[in-house]
Structure 1
Amino acid sequence: MNKKQAFPWDHPRFRSWIGVARACQLMQQAMTKAIADLDIKTPHLDIMINLYRFDGISQQELARKLLVGRSNMSMLLPQLEKRGLIERRPDAKDKRVLRLSLTQTGRSLTEDAMTIQTGLIDRILSQTPADRCLQVAEAMEDLIHILQTMEPESEADAL
């Protein structure tokens, strides 16, 4: 680090960045504990909630929604399938595409987990006024949009 370069913690927006990261980590830890009795992990829950909302989604679409690679999906889906929580079926028009659905057991477990998740969110965020929660949500949606549309910085630009 050269002497002209500022430290990250000297940047005025660093506190916001750290706050978001820490809140995300702590919420992930709380959720992991909250659903432990259901014998599922948060990555499994992310998959199951998306299948609950988007029945018949392809593996590729699911990976894109969850911002994970195909290799990550390839590890998680068989675990859920082996437990009888999801089904993978070939697409009617394109046999190379696999469509994903929850089984009845998976659907019931997802509903139980969503009840726990909603209760946890309510318990944590009930101390913050709803309009402030919406402001945070809007700020995060703006940040997501910026990150998704941002051109990768080349090494030459970074120097």
Structure 2
Amino acid sequence: MNKNQAFPWDHPRFRSWIGVARACQLMQQAMTRAIADLDIKTPHLDILINLYRFDGISQQELAHKLLVGRSNMSMLLPQLEKRGLIERRPDTKDKRVLRLSLTETGRDLTMQAMHIQTGMIERIMSQTPADRCLQVAEAMEDIIHILQTMETSEDEA
């Protein structure tokens, strides 16, 4: 880099990207602390919330939704199953596929965790006008679309 080139952190897009990344990291840390009393970590919460929303989802579908590999699922799911929070059942049509569901205990814990999470999001986001929140959401949705398109193009190449 020569003296006439701007540093990356001086560029508005770079600054924006770093801001989003830092906000995500700080929120992750805050959520970790907030749900510690429930004896779950944020990856567990991601799983539980998705099972709450998509009862009977397969392990592969869940891994895809969470953008993680099957090896991550293989580590996390047994922990939740051992605690009696989830159940894994064979698919009725394809015995190789396991379907995931929350147990009643898992549903209760997920409701508690979602209450904590939504309260935290509300406290944080209420500091920003709704129209600005929507602008950020739309920008992030655009970025997600671009990244997914790039991934699909790379897979096809």
Note the alpha carbon deviations across 1:9-54, whole angstroms, 9 max, x for none. 2433110010000000000011111101000000000000000000
Partner Cα distance (1:153, 1:96) in 2: 30
Identity %: 89
Partner Cα distance (1:58, 1:3) in 2: 54
Give the length in aligned residue pairs. 154
Distance 1:59 1:153, change over 3 A: closer
Q: Which residue of 2 aligns with 1:73?
A: 73
Give the partner amino acid of 1:148.
Q
Partner of 1:22: helix, strand, or coil? helix
Is there any run of 5+ residues in structure 2 with no aligned partner, and where? none
Distance 1:103 1:132, change over 3 A: same
**Superposed displacement of residue 8, structure 1:** 2.5
Confirm whether residue 31 of structure 1 aligns to residue 26 of structure 2.
Answer: no
What is the TM-score of this pair, normalised by structure 2? 0.92
Is there any run of 5+ residues in structure 1 with no aligned partner, and where? 155-159
Give the partner amino acid of 2:101.
S
Partner of 1:84: helix, strand, or coil? coil
Query: Counting helix residues as a fraction of each chain, which structure ranks higher?
Result: 2
Note the alpha carbon deviations across 1:44-102, whole angstroms, 9 max, x for none. 00000000000000000000000000000000000000000000000000000000000
Partner Cα distance (1:153, 1:125) in 2: 35
Q: Cα RMSD between the aligned structures?
A: 2.0
